[in-house]
Amino acid sequence: MQLMVEEMFERLLKRYCSLTQVRAMEQNVRGVQLKDVWNELEAAGLPNALADEQHGGIGLNLSEVVPLFVKMGEHALPLPLAETMVARALLYRAGETPPSEPIILATSISPANAESIETGELPHARTAGFMLLDCGERLDLYSLEDSKLSRPLGRYSLSARVSANTRTVRASIQSHSVSLREIGAFLHAARLAGAMQQILRMTVNYAQTRSQFGRPIGKFQAVQHQISVMAEQVAAASMAVELAGATGNLLPDPLSAAVAKECTSAASKVVGPIAHAVHGAIGISAEYDLQLFTRLLHEWRAAEGSESYWAIRIGRSLMESDATRASDFVRNRLAI
């Protein structure tokens, strides 16, 4: 079943989400093309991949859908499909019928009793229809039509901060200690891993085909060294995501999710600059595909906290544990 879903998703992405199509959708977030892609994903049942079969879902667990999350980053999918998968599963589990539109996950940064809520910068907010907001003891569902979105950070950015009045909440469920910040961080970590895998492939291909001084630049030891550093970072980030998702449950382990986000965010600071160094000036042009991915690296790296935020969280967990050595903490707390 898992392999069939992966192959189906790959075919859908190749057909409806070429990078040319992604660019067009970024430029027209309310256009027919974006809606058509979402309808195809719905028809395939992918937004319900984590939902129970009794609710019309596929009934997969987290480890089975992690490859899909990675592919979303690899193809720069401009829709919050991963967040919708999690949100629908949580809403169905609580007895609520989720909306048919894409859903983003968010954490409130406003005081508990405030009449209006504010969020941080949320990737894909401009292509979503609803927001599931973590308010501590409960998760509230808001329509983004009733909310205010901030201006985009940059040209073609799909991210936005959201402001909403608490009176417009559409549904509310108990959180049961579920933290959407850790979940969101893990989903962005998986996207980062996929995007960096794609950037690595693009860089290797460019180094093999771009010639200078009579031979491909990939034959020069200095370039080989840079690409090997990039490959090392991509491998470590991908492994961190895979380990964090290997729970067999619906949600990742919070600490493992923190490690995945710290590793992928830190790796993106290395992978992006090396890719641009190998590509030279062509890499920064808006028309070139590398720029699309490295732009997304910046947005996803900052989403739900960059590497420094999660490094502090991991360090605090270490200090609060009974482990006498860091190696014991890693072995006992993070081992699968």
For 95-123, write each residue's pLDDT tens digit: 999 999 999 999 999 877 788 999 999 99
pLDDT confidence of residue 199: 98
pLDDT confidence of residue 249: 86
User: How many beta carbons lie within 10 A of that of residue 195, not counting itself?
Assistant: 28
Q: Give the integer Cα–Cα distance in Å for 66 and 72.
A: 10
pLDDT confidence of residue 56: 82
* DSSP string across 113-127: T-SEEE---BTTGGG
Instruction: Reply yes or no on whether the pLDDT at 281 is more than 90.
Output: no
Could you tell me if 153 and 274 lie in one domain?
no
Instruction: Reply yes or no on whether the pLDDT at 78 is more than 90.
Output: yes
Query: Cα angle at 305 between 108 and 255, to 5 degrees?
Result: 95
b/e code 251-283 from CB counts within 10 Å (16+ = b):
bbbbbbbbbbbbbbbbbbebbbebbbebbeeeb
Mean pLDDT of 4-26: 93
Q: Which two tokens stand for residue 102?
A: 């894409």
Close Cβ partners of 65 (under 8 Å, ≥ 6 residues apart): 5, 49, 50, 85
Contact 274, 226 (CB under 8 A): yes
| Strand, helix or coil for residue 171 | strand
Could you tell me if 131 and 233 lie in one domain?
no
pLDDT above 90: percentage of residues in the chain = 79
Examine the fold and report which residue of 174, 206, 227 is the final residue of a domain before the chain moves on.
174
CATH number for the domain including 251?
1.20.140.10
For 47-71, write each residue's pLDDT tens digit: 999 999 888 888 999 999 999 999 9
pLDDT confidence of residue 55: 85
Could you tell me if 250 and 130 lie in one domain?
no
Question: If we measure between CA atoms, which residue out of 150, 235, 248 comes closest to residue 197?
Answer: 235
Could you tell me if 227 and 124 lie in one domain?
no
Examine the fold and report which residue of 155, 174, 193 is the final residue of a domain before the chain moves on.
174
Q: Give the integer Cα–Cα distance in Å for 260 and 255.
A: 9
pLDDT confidence of residue 316: 93
Could you tell me if 199 and 159 lie in one domain?
no
Instruction: Reply yes or no on whether the pLDDT at 335 is more than 70.
Output: no
Could you tell me if 253 and 295 lie in one domain?
yes
Could you tell me if 306 and 188 lie in one domain?
yes
User: How many beta carbons lie within 10 A of that of residue 11, not counting itself?
Assistant: 11
Could you tell me if 130 and 200 lie in one domain?
no
pLDDT confidence of residue 30: 83
Q: Give the integer Cα–Cα distance in Å for 80 and 102.
A: 6
Could you tell me if 24 and 150 lie in one domain?
yes
pLDDT confidence of residue 26: 92
Mean pLDDT of 305-317: 95
Q: Which two tokens stand for residue 277?
A: 């160094």
For 208-257, write each residue's pLDDT tens digit: 999 888 899 999 999 999 999 999 999 999 999 999 999 888 899 999 99
Q: Give the integer Cα–Cα distance in Å for 306 and 309.
A: 6
Query: How many domains in the chain?
Result: 2
Could you tell me if 166 and 192 lie in one domain?
no
The DSSP code for 210 is -
Could you tell me if 85 and 192 lie in one domain?
no
As a whole number, the mean pLDDT across the chain is 93
pLDDT confidence of residue 152: 84
Could you tell me if 111 and 210 lie in one domain?
no
Examine the fold and report which residue of 124, 151, 174 is the final residue of a domain before the chain moves on.
174
**Residue 106 domain boundaries:** 2-174
Alpha helices in the chain (DSSP H): 2-16, 19-27, 32-43, 62-74, 81-93, 180-209, 221-244, 254-279, 289-302, 307-320, 326-329
pTM: 0.95
pLDDT confidence of residue 336: 57
Mean pLDDT of 125-154: 94
